[in-house]
Amino acid sequence: MDVKKIALVLLLLLSVIFIAGCTGTDSDVGTPTATATAAPEGTNTAANPELLRIATTTSLDNTGLLEALQERFEKDHDVTLQIIAAGTGKALEYGQRGDVDVLMVHDRSREDTFIDDGYGINRRGIAYNYFMIVGPESDPAGIAGMTPEDALTAIYTTAETNPDVVFISRGDSSGTHAKEQAIWTSAGYDYETEVEGAGDWYVEGGQGMGATLNHANEKFAYTLSDSGTYLSYKTELDLVPLVDEGDSLLNVYSAMQINPEMFDYVNSEMAREWINFLITPETQEFIGGFGVDEYGQPLFFESRGNFEVMGITQAEAEVPISA
């Protein structure tokens, strides 16, 4: 009978896959059939205290820092971190929907709103670095050494006559995109009416930081990048940093918990442990030294001892969250 034969083949295939799935290191792979048939236990964060979901900006993820921190944290804690790399905007949206336990983002003003609205608690500054405007070595708009505001103005005005001048925006409401908008605004432009759709020279890429750098590289274009991602991608790129000084280029990364009073199933306890882990002197030292061997300079600076530079209080940088 054919049906039997097929059933046999399917059964064999299934069992092979099941065995493969079960011997994997991941606890989640073994259970999706149960979850697919709508059994609530198994993948529920609340029912599974050893699971911690983190929504993060792509810059922290693309540099490999988060993966390194994950390994260190998981070694000492009975927990599996699940890292969802999105722009800051998307991460905040996940937070507002209660789909994650921790946010790691970099957009002070939107973070403030998020906390004021009651979604986030216990923010700690965990690291900082600087944004930079990178572009082709030929620098067709001649922005090298300018202030960020002057540089964007120069790009804007030269682009009208010089087709070689192209600027690629993240265009994804990430923290980097927010910073870019802030610089446009302080340069005197209305972002929505004057910059967006200003012409073919202004490209909204809609991708993460690493992908945007690759995009800019392909098009010999300018873009705004955090220094960490730029440095970790540098060997693949022909782009050079052209503007890297100016107060508006400060880039502060924060971690915060999702408010358990808002969403009672979030893994509040492990979220607290994770954030406290991030601000311990040992982790801070690790963050400050991350990438030095490979890139010759740190991708991130530690927040410990640098709260003044970061514009936050000492408590926001160094005091562990209490239970």
Partner 1 sequence: MNEIIDGFITAVILIVTLDPEVYEIAFRSIYITLTATIIASVISIPIAMYLAFHDFRGKMSLVNLIHTLYALPTVLIGLLVFLLLSRKGPLGFFGLLFTPGAMIIGQVILIIPILVGLTYSALTSLDPVVKDTIISLGADYLQFVMSILREVRFVIYAAIAMAFGRAISEVGAAIIIGGNIKGSTRVLTTAISLETSMGNIEFSMALGIILLFIALIVNFVMTAIRRGG
Give residues in contact with partner 1 (CB under 8 A). 2-3, 5-6, 9-10, 13-14, 17-18, 20-21, 24-26, 28-29, 31-36, 38, 40, 42-47, 53, 62, 67, 80, 82-86, 97-99, 207-208, 210-211, 214, 233, 236, 263, 265
Q: Please say which residue, 184 or 290, places its beta carbon nearer to partner 1.
A: 290
Contact 178, 107 (CB under 8 A): yes
Q: Please say which residue, 122 or 207, places its beta carbon nearer to partner 1.
A: 207
Q: Please say which residue, 90 or 108, places its beta carbon nearer to partner 1.
A: 90
Q: Please say which residue, 8 or 319, places its beta carbon nearer to partner 1.
A: 8
Query: DSSP assignment of 286-319, as one string?
Result: HHHHTTHHHHSS-SSEESTT-HHHHTS-HHHHHP
Tokens, residue 231: 């440095």
Query: DSSP assignment of 96-123, as one string?
Result: HTT--SEEEE--HHHHHHHHHTTSEEEE
> φ and ψ at 258, to 5 degrees?
-80, 135
Which of helix, strand or coil describes residue 76? Answer: helix
Q: How far is the CB of 84 from partner 1 (least distance, A)?
A: 4
Q: Please say which residue, 47 or 319, places its beta carbon nearer to partner 1.
A: 47
Cα–Cα dist 209/229, whole Å: 7
Q: How far is the CB of 78 from partner 1 (least distance, A)?
A: 16
Q: How far is the CB of 42 from partner 1 (least distance, A)?
A: 8
Cα–Cα dist 169/177, whole Å: 7
Q: How far is the CB of 173 from partner 1 (least distance, A)?
A: 16
Q: How far is the CB of 241 from partner 1 (least distance, A)?
A: 18
The DSSP code for 51 is E
Q: How far is the CB of 143 from partner 1 (least distance, A)?
A: 25
Q: How far is the CB of 24 from partner 1 (least distance, A)?
A: 6
Query: DSSP assignment of 176-209, as one string?
Result: HHHHHHHHHHHTT--IIIIITTS-TTEEE--S-H
Cα–Cα dist 248/251, whole Å: 9
Judging by beta carbons within 10 Å of its beta carbon (0-12, 13-18, 19+), is residue 123 exposed, middle or buried?
Answer: buried
Q: Please say which residue, 42 or 305, places its beta carbon nearer to partner 1.
A: 42
Q: Please say which residue, 214 or 248, places its beta carbon nearer to partner 1.
A: 214
Cα–Cα dist 291/303, whole Å: 16
